[in-house]
Amino acid sequence: RRYVIQGQKWQNPIVTYSLVNQTMSELDAGQVRRILHEALGLWAQHANINFREVYSTDADIQVMFARKFHGDGYNFDGPGKILAHAFYPGTGIGGDAHFDADEKWLLNEPLDAEGTRLFDVAVHEFGHSLGLGHSSQQDAIMFPWHHISYRGKDTIPEDDRLGIQSIYGPRKKIYGKNPERHTPSTTTTTTTTTPAPPPRPTTRPYYPVKNTTGHPWEGLYPHGRPYTTRRTTTTTTERSHHREDEETRYRTQLPATTETTTVRHRPHHRPHHRTTTTTAMTTTTTTTTRRPYRHRTTIHPNPCNTSFDAITLIRNELFIFKDRWLWRMNENDLHRPTPFEIHRMFFGLPADFERIDTVYENKHQKIIFFIGKQYYVFNSQYLEPGYPRPLTDLGLPDSIERIDAALVWSHNNRTYLYSGRLYWKFDEDTNRVELDYPRDMSMWRGIGYNIDSAFQYRDGKTYFFKGRGYWRFNDMNMSIAHEYQKSSARRWMKC
Amino acid sequence: KPIERERRSEAKFWDYDDSQKYLMQFGYLEKSNIETGNLRTIEELEQAVRSLQRFGGLKETGTVDEETLALMQRPRCGAPDDKDSLDFRPSYEVRLKRSRS
């Protein structure tokens, strides 16, 4: 197979890159940055693309040295075998290049020295970051197995040159100037003026906080840091759409977009009155405690225009959760029942919780709620003593900030937990996740990352929910059974 | 049976499970079997080994011989070789691309 193009490419004329964890003690950060710059410069000499080094989490290509499990589902394996990996162009983790910190990296040593030249591997990995796949040409830079592919000649192997030029086109000649003197603009790295980000906690491996281009559903890395919107080529509508969507996900309800429902509260219940003011780009919620009302108008989300925080069968009844509300759907009802507040059915949840992350009923008929880094075990409607407990009690890594979904999979009736790009199989008997996990969510082909919920319905099928829509899953093929259904409301909320 | 014993000795560095993991990791074998537990046919395994041998420039025998074992133990990039592997690409873009097509 000759060179392979992976379909994605960088649209922005200048691609930024950043060495994320410069505190790498073994290697000299300055030398590493020089080598990264040379490796990118080699591609820039042969294609119409330019690079600029920045030192911030806004970079398109974030370069990281990490070892073993480092949060992307593709663990490194210590010295030897896997040296590095990189992701094809895209938002989120797209474009990033990760190098195995357990390798013996050579920065300046001569070719025959013992170890792995960082330059050779970096050129290869940046080929992926630009959109190239592996080539079976043994002399090509994109050949999967490590070899000295480039020895300082003034050109790269033909297979790589044709590959990169078929994505970005050849390097444009600058007329009217002496072309010999003109070197690709990548060689002029302008040190960025953006202030260096605060020193990162060295207590645990640092994960780059990547941005997203406003795709409404991208939310969190597995360790829970939210994406921030970055200067992107997306149109402002998309971005405002993203901000608006982002807010709907996290803000308390506003009267404008939701029905108002009067819910009577028992007089002893001290209601908190929430006022929400939304300025241009931010939502501030001020909470004031007022004297108890005999009743108050409480607003629940518009069930026909919302994503779900969780949807599951409990005692074979369908429960749908959003923010502080739950709908108890009865199959025989023609109409949707009125929602009520979660803490009026499940006693023992924290009084100030905004929303639950997910919930499921296990094979011991216990009802397990996940909120943030804790989980709550309910025996029917009552919290069992000794709960909540931290997620680490289940064998999950401390870097996990929340569980997106908990599923008893229809294929094998085993429990799976999903968070960000990763998932675990959970052993209900040992009450811990199984050893050979986490794995990357790409195993569940077509579902993508950062899902909202998943459950097995009475029809014995498995459904995944993300944003306002859902997929039915084909267990045997391990892929989605049909295209994304844009509206869950009709099927699940009887809208 | 000397032949059987001889074959088994070839894989003394690596048992078949490691070979399967390698082939799945780099896109030569369907990974989903890990979760579904579906069994594989011998043809599927031999075809995967042949693809690996072709990509690595080896003689295509379909069995994990010495050269193939040596190739599997060489340092390499962690990205999969299968050009259709979507593992290293943000998958919602894939869906976007599909819906566009």
pLDDT in tens, A29-46: 889 999 999 999 999 999
Confidence of residue A337 (pLDDT cuts 50, 70, 90): confident
Residues of A in contact with B92 (CB under 8 A): 215, 217-218, 448-449
Instruction: Please give the average per-residue pLDDT across B52-57, as a whole number.
Output: 90
Between A186 and A372, the more confident residue is A372
For residue B11, pLDDT over 70 is answered with no
CA distance B9 to chain A (A): 22
Q: Which candidate in A53, A103, A125, A218 is catalytic? A: A125
Residue type, A20: V
Of B76, B78, B91, the CB nearest to A442: B91
B38 touches chain A (CB under 8 A): yes
* Tens of pLDDT, residues A421-479: 899 999 999 999 998 889 989 889 899 889 999 999 999 999 999 999 999 999 988 88
For residue A231, pLDDT over 80 is answered with no
CA distance B17 to chain A (A): 14
**Predicted pLDDT at B99:** 53
**Which chain A residue has the Cα nearest residue B82?**
A134
Of A138, A446, A476, the CB nearest to B36: A476
**Predicted pLDDT at A296:** 38
Residues of B in contact with A441 (CB under 8 A): 91
**Predicted pLDDT at A424:** 96
B56 touches chain A (CB under 8 A): yes
Rounded percentage of chain A residues whose pLDDT exceeds 90: 42
Q: Do B77 and A82 touch (CB under 8 A)?
A: yes
Kindly report which listed range (A203-217, A322-336, A479-493) carries the lowest average pLDDT score: A203-217
**Predicted pLDDT at A38:** 92
Q: Do A445 and B32 touch (CB under 8 A)?
A: yes
**Predicted pLDDT at A290:** 43
Kindly report which listed range (A56-65, B7-16, B45-54) carries the lowest average pLDDT score: B7-16
Let me know: does A457 contact A473? Beta carbons within 8 Å: no
* Tens of pLDDT, residues A302-318: 999 999 999 999 999 99
Mean pLDDT, chain B, whole residue set: 74
Rounded percentage of chain A residues whose pLDDT exceeds 70: 71
Instruction: Please give the average per-residue pLDDT across B6-20, as a whole number.
Output: 60
Instruction: Please give the average per-residue pLDDT across A223-246, as a whole number.
Output: 37
B71 touches chain A (CB under 8 A): yes
Residues of B in contact with A82 (CB under 8 A): 75-78
Let me know: does A96 contact A63? Beta carbons within 8 Å: yes
Mean pLDDT, chain A, whole residue set: 76
ipTM of this complex prediction, to 2 decimal places: 0.72
For residue A89, pLDDT over 80 is answered with yes
Q: Do B89 and A90 touch (CB under 8 A)?
A: yes
